[in-house]
Amino acid sequence: LMRTGPAQQSTVCPYACQRRTTTANKNKRFTDALEVLVEYHELTEIEGPRVAYSRAASVLKSLPWTIESMGGTEALPCVGEKTRTLIQEILQYGRSFEVEKILADERYQTLKLFTSVFGVGPKTADKWYRRGLRSFSQILADPDVQLNRMQQNGTSRLQRVRNSTSARAVEAVVGETVRTVAPNARVVLTGGFRRGKEFGHDVDFIVTTAEPGRENSLLPLIMGRLEEQVSERIMLLNSERLRLSAMDYYSKCFLILKLEGSRVQGGGQAVPAGRGWRAVRVDLVAPPIERFAFTQLGWTGSKQFERDLRRFARVERNMLLDNHALFDKNQFLAAVTEKDIFAHLGLEYMEPWQRNA
């Protein structure tokens, strides 16, 4: 059998943490379709296909060529029969019927709308859907639905696509605030914008100080300062301090900042979309300085890159990696920089912009 296509010339590694994946995705038409399937299974909380489709999408994003025929696709790791059928369908018809069906599905559309609110997950969204609710106005009008403060602000049309221009504006504001309250503290950008993404749903920062134990008092200070700063430039609409999350125990806050262009709006309540301002979701995390490298590696993402990095550590190295530490058996492997962690794992270093898996 004669096979064509670049797949045989270069081997594609099975783990995302071994592939250099930039934002220049040459197979967007396939990965967009796969991501609808990922999202559908996420919203309906079906784990198996979600994992399989995310891995397949991640492999296609890393390819330095565009798939133009089925030749060679069988050699790609993590690309199974269902994904190959999808690729074939898109090559042949320009679209996938399964994906189109999902996109037209009322339940999918409603769950997607509801989970776009910060603080609303698939469970809450599904509960509202089963109550017959289909829109934000119906939710707000339902006397039996209780929204917490974060969800209330999230429903007020605050979620907007952010480009790196507003990411830099947020960086300036957060940096200035931190310099005011803690001149020795350091703020570094992490998350999607550190990976060089053009759009994101929030801006992520790590805040550290060299003074041991000080990291836990940093965020309350920063939050306090931001709360005072209701000025023409910035407004804190909401904040929630969260210690425990599924991913790490560091002191953190998830907040919404208002970058002001013209007018100041009052209160922590719904603000009508006016001219010249943007509401931006911001995440701050404050690890102890000796865990900085682990936090930076964990918070830079992408999520698929992180999943595969941890899986690689576990399956290929019998080590345990998370946002706090790397353990080989019971031995803690210290790291000052991300490069140290890649080296401990026996992996080639990946620059942040190569982690867009």
| Binding flag, residue 248, ligand TTP (CB under 6 A) | yes
Q: How far apart are CA 304 and CA 16, in angstroms?
A: 7
Among 39, 54, 177, 192, binds Mn ion (CB under 5 A): 192
322 labelled as ligand-binding?
no
CA atoms lying within 13 Å on the CB side of residue 173: 27
Is residue 298 part of the contact set for ligand TTP (CB under 6 A)?
A: yes
How many chain residues bind ligand TTP (CB under 6 A)? 17
Residues labelled as active-site residues: 202, 204, 283
Q: Does 245 bind ligand TTP (CB under 6 A)?
A: yes
* 115 contacts ligand TTP (rule: CB under 6 A): no
287 interacts with ligand TTP by CB under 6 A: no
Member of 283, 316, 328, 340 binding Mn ion (CB under 5 A):
283
2 CB-contact burial (10 Å; exposed 0-12 / middle 13-18 / buried 19+): exposed
Q: Which is nearer to ligand TTP, 176 or 240 (CB)?
A: 240
CA proximity to 206, closest of 333, 297, 88: 297
Task: Choose among ligand TTP, Mn ion, none what residue 302 binds, the Cβ cut-off being 5 to 8 Å by kind.
Answer: ligand TTP
CB of 189 to ligand TTP, least distance (A): 10
Instruction: Name the pairing type of β-strands 234-242 and 326-328.
Output: unpaired
The answer to whether residues 25 and 31 touch, using CB atoms and an 8 Å cutoff, is yes
171 binds ligand TTP, rule: CB under 6 A: no
Across the beta sheet with 186-190, what order do the strands follow?
186-190, 203-208, 278-286, 251-259, 234-242
Identify which of 33, 12, 30 has the alpha carbon closest to the alpha carbon of residue 21. 12
Q: What's the one-letter identity of residue 204?
A: D
Q: Out of 30, 53, 294, 299, name the contact with ligand TTP by CB under 6 A.
A: 299
Tell me, rounded to whole angstroms, the distance of Cα 279 from its chain centroid: 18
Site string for Mn ion, 94-133 (x = CB under 5 A): ----------------------------------------
Residues that bind ligand TTP (CB under 6 A): 191-192, 200-202, 204, 245, 247-248, 283, 298-299, 301-303, 306, 323
